[in-house]
Amino acid sequence: MSVAELKERHLAATETLNNLKQRLNQTRRSLLDTDVAGYARSQGKSAVTFGPTDLVCCRTLQGHTGKVYSLDWTSEKTRIVSASQDGRLIVWNALTRQKIHAIKLPCAWVMTCAFSPTGQSIACGGLDNACSIFNLNSTTDKDGNLPVTRMLSGHKGYISSCQYVPDEDTHLITGSGDQTCVLWDITTGLKTSVFGGEFQSGHTADVLSVSINGSNSRIFASGSCDATARLWDTRVASRAVRAFHGHEGDVNSVKFFPDGNRFGTGSEDGTCRLFDIRTGHQLQVYSQKHSDDKTHPVTSIAFSISGRLLFAGYTNGDCYVWDTLLAKVVLNLGSLQDSHEDRVTCLGLAADGSALCTGSWDTNLKIWAFGGHRRVI
Amino acid sequence: MMAISSPKGSGVGSPKAPTLPLPSPKAPPGYPDLYGKRREISRLHMLEREISFLEEELKSSEGFQPASRCCKEIDDFVMAKADPLLPTKKKKSRSSRFWKWLCCTPCSTLCSCLCCCCCCEPRCCDGCSKHLSLPSCSCCQHLRQCSCCKCVTPKSNCCRGSNSGCCKGSCGCQNCCIPPSCKCLSCCSCKCSCSCTCPTCPKLPQSCCCIKSCWSPCCCC
C-alpha cells in the first residue's frame, strides 16, 4: 500500500471515529435526564448551612521554608506527611504539631508524597522522574538523613502523583509527565504494568493526578493535561476502561467519591465535575465565580467521608466547601480566620473524616475540623 | 552572486561582466519514504483500535441507566452515612469522642485557661496565665491528661524549665528542649527557634529552625 493510499485510509478512519464519537455523545445526552442538583432539588433537599464557628482552623503546621506541594494522612489519623519545595518531607503529629521526621530529599523538586497503608513508609516523587521510598524505621546515615530504601526508576517524565494501593505496602501507582501511569512492585523496584504510552491507548498529555478506588483497589482514575480523566483496571493495562470528557482545561486533580462508583475532578478551567464510572455520565458541574468575579483554576479536591461535602482548593487561595448534592458553595475556608495566605495546592481528609488538612504556597499546612456543638435532639 | 554591471554613465562601448546563473538546489533523491509509511501505518492502527473501542462502548451504552438513577444512588449513599464535618444534630456521647480530638470546648468556668482538646478532661491548667487562648495549648500525648503549660508524660517533647516552656501562639514546641545542653528559648515564636550549645558545633543563628530534634549532639537545621 502506498503512502498516499495510507493517508486516504487514515482520513476515512478519522471520519469514522468522529461519527462514532458523535453517536456516543448523542446517546449520552439522551440519558442525561437530570443532574445531581436537579435531583436533590426535586427531593426537597436544602443546602448544608455552616455557622461561623462550625468549621475552624484548629492547627497550623509551620516548619517548611518553601511552598507545600503535597500532603497525605496516615490511616491512623494522627500523622501527616507533607512535601515542599524546600526539598524536605516532614512527618507531623497532627495533634501536637510536632515534627516527627524531617527528611532531606535527594532531589528538592518534589511534587507528590504518600503514606503507605501501614504508615511505615513514605513515597515521593518529582522532577527527578523517579519515585523514592523511605522506610521510617530505617537508621539514619552519618548526616542524620533517612536513606532512600528503594528508587522506582523508569518514567520518562516527572512524577506528578503517587498513591499506595490500599492495604498493600508493596504496590504503588504513579502518574507522570510522560503521559503514563505505572503500577510498581516496590519489593523488586520493577514496573508491574504501564497504563498508556506510545503504543497503547491512553492519555495524550501529562498525567497530573491519580486516585485509587477505595472500594475496589483494581480500579483507579487519572487526570491529565489532555483535559480528560480516564478510568483504568490494573488487570488491563493496554487501554483505559473509559475516557471522561467535559473539562476545558487540564484536569489537575481526581478523587474517588466515597461510594466507589463515582469520582470527582478539579480542573484548570475552574470547575469541578462528578462522573459516574459505570456509565461515563457527567453527573454534575461545580462552578462558581470568585469574589473578584473571575474563575480560578482548581488545584486539588477531596470529598468528606459521606460525600456530602466537596472541598476544592483554588489558585487564588480560596478553598470552597461545596454541597455536593445541591452544587452550592456553603463555605469558603479561604475567607475564614487563620486561612492560608496563598494558593492552596493540596487537600486531604483524615481517614475517619474528622479533619481536613490543607497545604499551601504560604509554606503552611492547616487542619480544619468541626468546632461547633452538637446538641441532643 | 550578483551580476556585476558597469556603473551608469560609464561610457558607451565598455564590456559587460559575465552573469552567473542563480543557484538551484538539486531535487532530493528518489528514495522510498519508509519512515513516513511506517508512521502512517502505526497511526492507522491506533485509529482502528480507537474505532473498535468506541464501537464496543456504543454497544454497551444501550444498557446504561439514566443519570437520574445515578443521582438517586448518590443521594441515598450520602444521606445514609454519618459525617463528622457536617453540622447535623447528633446525640452527644462518649463513644463519639473519636471525632472531637481537634475541636475545642471551654473548660469549666472555674478554670482560668482554655484547653484546646476536647478529649481532655476539663481540668484547670496549673500555672497558665489568662492570656493563653485558643489554640495555644498542645495536647500531650497521653489523652485525658492534657494540661496547657506542663506536660505530664515524662518523655514528652514539650519544653521544660522556665517560663519559656509555656507555648503561646500557634507554635508547638518542636523537640527543642533536650537536656542537658540545650535550652529552649523562644519556642513560642512562629518559627521554633532554639539554640543548642554544643561543644563541637558552632552556635546557630537565632532564626535557624530546628527541623530535626536535638537528639544528636549537634543541632542541625
pLDDT digits (tens, 9 = 90+) for B105-121: 433 333 322 333 333 33
Contacts of A364 (CB under 8 A, 6+ apart): A60, A61, A62, A64, A68, A340
Extended beta strands in A30-74, E state: 55-61, 68-73
The answer to whether the Cβ–Cβ distance between A10 and B54 falls below 8 Å is no
Q: Which residue has the higher pLDDT, A224 or A337?
A: A224
Please give the radius of gyration of chain B, using alpha carbons only, rounded to the nearest integer: 40
| 3-class DSSP assignment, residue A40 | helix
Residue A324: list chain B partners with CB under 8 A. Answer: 74, 78
Contacts of B117 (CB under 8 A, 6+ apart): A95, B101, B102, B104, B137, B139, B146
Q: Are strands A355-360 and A344-349 parallel, antiparallel or unpaired?
A: antiparallel
Q: Which residue in chain A has the smallest CA separation from B175?
A: A98
Binned at pLDDT 50, 70 and 90, residue B36 comes out as confident
Residue B220: list chain A partners with CB under 8 A. Answer: 144
Does the complex come out with an ipTM higher than 0.90?
Answer: yes
The beta-carbon neighbor of B104 closest among A20, A43, A371 is A371
A376 CB burial (10 A radius; 0-12, 13-18, 19+): exposed
Q: What is the pLDDT of residue B147?
A: 38
Query: Position A108: which residue type?
Result: A
B12 CB burial (10 A radius; 0-12, 13-18, 19+): exposed
- What's the pTM? 0.72
The answer to whether the Cβ–Cβ distance between A27 and B54 falls below 8 Å is no
In this predicted structure, the answer to whether residue B157 has a pLDDT above a threshold of 90 is no
Residue A257: list chain B partners with CB under 8 A. Answer: 74
Q: Which helix (H) or strand (E) holds A104?
A: strand A99-104
- Name the least confident of A134-148, A167-181, B112-126: B112-126
In this predicted structure, the answer to whether residue A362 has a pLDDT above a threshold of 60 is yes
Could you give the count of Cα atoms lying within 13 Å of A278 in the half-sphere of its Cβ? 13
For residues B198 and A40, give the distance between their C-alpha atoms in angstroms, rounded to a whole number: 65
Q: What is the pLDDT of residue B21?
A: 79
Q: Are strands A68-73 and A55-61 parallel, antiparallel or unpaired?
A: unpaired
- Calculate what percentage of chain A has a pLDDT beyond 70: 98
Q: What is the pLDDT of residue A57?
A: 93
For residues A164 and A186, give the distance between their C-alpha atoms in angstroms, rounded to a whole number: 10
Residue ranges in chain A assigned as alpha helix (H): 3-31, 36-42
User: Given CB atoms, is B48 within the 8 Å cutoff of chain A?
Assistant: yes
Mutate to test the interface with A, among B49, B71, B196 (most CBs of A within 10 A): B71
A15: DSSP letter: H
Q: What is the mean pLDDT of residues A178-205?
A: 92
Could you give the count of Cα atoms lying within 13 Å of B34 in the half-sphere of its Cβ? 1
Q: Which residue has the higher pLDDT, B34 or B134?
A: B34
- Name the least confident of A195-209, A283-297, B204-218: B204-218
For residues A112 and B192, give the distance between their C-alpha atoms in angstroms, rounded to a whole number: 26
Q: Which of A57, A119, A108 is nearest to A83 (CA)?
A: A108
- Name the least confident of B3-12, B89-98, B143-152: B143-152
The answer to whether the Cβ–Cβ distance between A17 and B50 falls below 8 Å is yes
Q: Which residue has the higher pLDDT, A162 or B153?
A: A162
Q: Which residue has the higher pLDDT, B16 or B208?
A: B16
Binned at pLDDT 50, 70 and 90, residue B34 comes out as low
In this predicted structure, the answer to whether residue A195 has a pLDDT above a threshold of 60 is yes
Long-range contacts, stretch A357-360, CB < 8 angstroms, 24+ apart: A357/A71, A357/A73, A357/A80, A357/A94, A358/A313, A358/A319, A358/A333, A359/A68, A359/A69, A359/A70, A359/A71, A359/A82, A360/A67, A360/A68, A360/A317
- Name the least confident of A14-28, A114-128, B123-137: B123-137
Q: Return phi, psi of residue A333, to 5°.
A: -60, -25
Mean pLDDT of chain A: 93
For residues B200 and B220, give the distance between their C-alpha atoms in angstroms, rounded to a whole number: 12
pLDDT tens digits, B49-69 = 889 988 998 999 888 999 999
Q: What is the pLDDT of residue B30?
A: 62
Q: What is the pLDDT of residue B163?
A: 36
User: Given CB atoms, is B56 within the 8 Å cutoff of chain A?
Assistant: no
Classify the phi-psi angles of B100: left when phi > 0, otherwise alpha if psi is within -120 to 50, otherwise beta: alpha
Mutate to test the interface with A, among B50, B69, B70 (most CBs of A within 10 A): B70
Mean pLDDT of chain B: 53
The beta-carbon neighbor of B86 closest among A10, A58, A308 is A308
Residue A258: list chain B partners with CB under 8 A. Answer: 77, 81
In this predicted structure, the answer to whether residue A224 has a pLDDT above a threshold of 70 is yes
The answer to whether the Cβ–Cβ distance between A48 and B74 falls below 8 Å is no
